[in-house]
Structure 1
Amino acid sequence: MSNDDLDLLLEDLKSPTERVRQEATQQLWQRWFHQKGIMGLELLQKAQILLESGEAAEAEAILTRAIATFPDFAEAWNRRAVLYYLLKNYRKAIADCQQVLRLNPVHFGALHGLGLCYAALGDYSAAIDAFRKALEIQPHAIENQRLLLECTAKLS
């Protein structure tokens, strides 16, 4: 997929038509998960299965290995950030989200995760900033709109 295709998908995220937004979102996630081909995808899938079966340490080891093998694999960093968030290790999750965004500045999932982590730590200003950035990419994301309002209310 070319950069022109990426630009079109990012524009589709702003479409007034929900179906167009959903299709663009799906294609972006597919692009991100498949960035490193079958090997990268299989590592992500294996880590997810382990995480869902309660084997977080094993899932973390696989994701860390994927990152060591493919340091520019943004989705491996993102999946590990999700794992850290679920384990309530918010500082590690934030560090991984920031790495995702260095590699892929339009990764709305990492921006959402960053906002969740900052909110969990009570840093509502930083959470608001992350949710706003996510909404710049995906303006119709109801969950980020809601979280932005919740964090704003906590500051007042």
Structure 2
Amino acid sequence: MDSAYIDRLLQALKDQNETVRNQAIGEFWHMWFHQKGTQGAKRLIESQTLVEAEQNTKAKAILDELIDTQPDFAEAWNRRAVLYYMEGNYPAAINDCQKTLELVPHHFGALHGLGLCYASVGNYQDAIQYFRRTLDLQPFSLINQRLILECIAQLE
């Protein structure tokens, strides 16, 4: 991926203009989903459709296959992390989020996911750390601002 383009998108996430920020967010998601071309994106969408239909075992099988055959496919790791999170398997979700970040350090979805996982297990200090790291990339993210405040309230 073109690092200059990624740098421009990262800057756009901090733009005062909400439309500019939303376009950058959309570009990142498109880039991540299409990292392995149209076929990779199609398989990710297929797995998401299965999750929405509460067919998590089938969805996980697709994601496992993608990860086994293309271990550098960051969004496959991230999608499986989301699935694990939804199932309450926080250790597995944390592991897959961390793998996503090894592959794509600016993956704000995985950073946010780590915050959610740590908050879910009552580790509010680490949750705050990951929500703040997400805010470093997306300073206008109201959900992360709110989650930080909620975690701080849990510490008091």
Q: Same fold (TM over 0.5)?
A: yes
Q: What residue in structure 1 maps to residue 88 of structure 2?
A: 88
Cα distance in 1 for residues equivalent to 2:80 and 2:26: 20
Cα distance in 2 for residues equivalent to 1:38 and 1:16: 33
Q: Give the partner amino acid of 1:52.
A: E
Cα distance in 1 for residues equivalent to 2:154 and 2:52: 32
Q: What residue in structure 1 maps to residue 58 of structure 2?
A: 58
Cα distance in 2 for residues equivalent to 1:14 and 1:89: 33
Q: Are 1:35 and 2:55 counterparts?
A: no
Q: Are 1:112 and 2:116 counterparts?
A: no
Q: What residue in structure 1 maps to residue 68 of structure 2?
A: 68
Q: Please, what TM-score do these two structures have when normalized by structure 1?
A: 0.98
Please, which moves more after superposition, 39-48 or 74-83?
39-48
Q: What residue in structure 2 maps to residue 153 of structure 1?
A: 153
Cα distance in 2 for residues equivalent to 1:118 and 1:152: 13
User: Gapped runs of 5+ residues in structure 2?
Assistant: none
**How many pairs does the alignment contain?**
156
Q: Give the partner amino acid of 2:62.
A: I
Output one character per residue of 1:82-119: Cα deviation in whole Å (capped at 9) or x when no partner: 00000011110000000000000000000000000000
Tell me the C-alpha RMSD between the 2 structures: 0.7
Cα distance in 1 for residues equivalent to 2:39 and 2:70: 10
Q: What residue in structure 2 maps to residue 11 of structure 1?
A: 11
Shift of residue 38, structure 1, vs aligned partner: 1.3
Cα distance in 1 for residues equivalent to 2:39 and 2:51: 18
Q: Are 1:133 and 2:133 counterparts?
A: yes
Q: Are 1:142 and 2:142 counterparts?
A: yes
Q: Give the partner amino acid of 1:81.
A: A
Cα distance in 2 for residues equivalent to 1:30 and 1:22: 12
Q: Deviating runs (4+, > 3 A) in structure 1?
A: none
Q: What residue in structure 1 maps to residue 123 of structure 2?
A: 123
Cα distance in 1 for residues equivalent to 2:47 and 2:3: 29
Q: Give the partner amino acid of 1:154.
A: Q
Cα distance in 2 for residues equivalent to 1:43 and 1:150: 36
Q: Give the partner amino acid of 1:145.
A: Q
Q: Please, what TM-score do these two structures have when normalized by structure 2?
A: 0.98
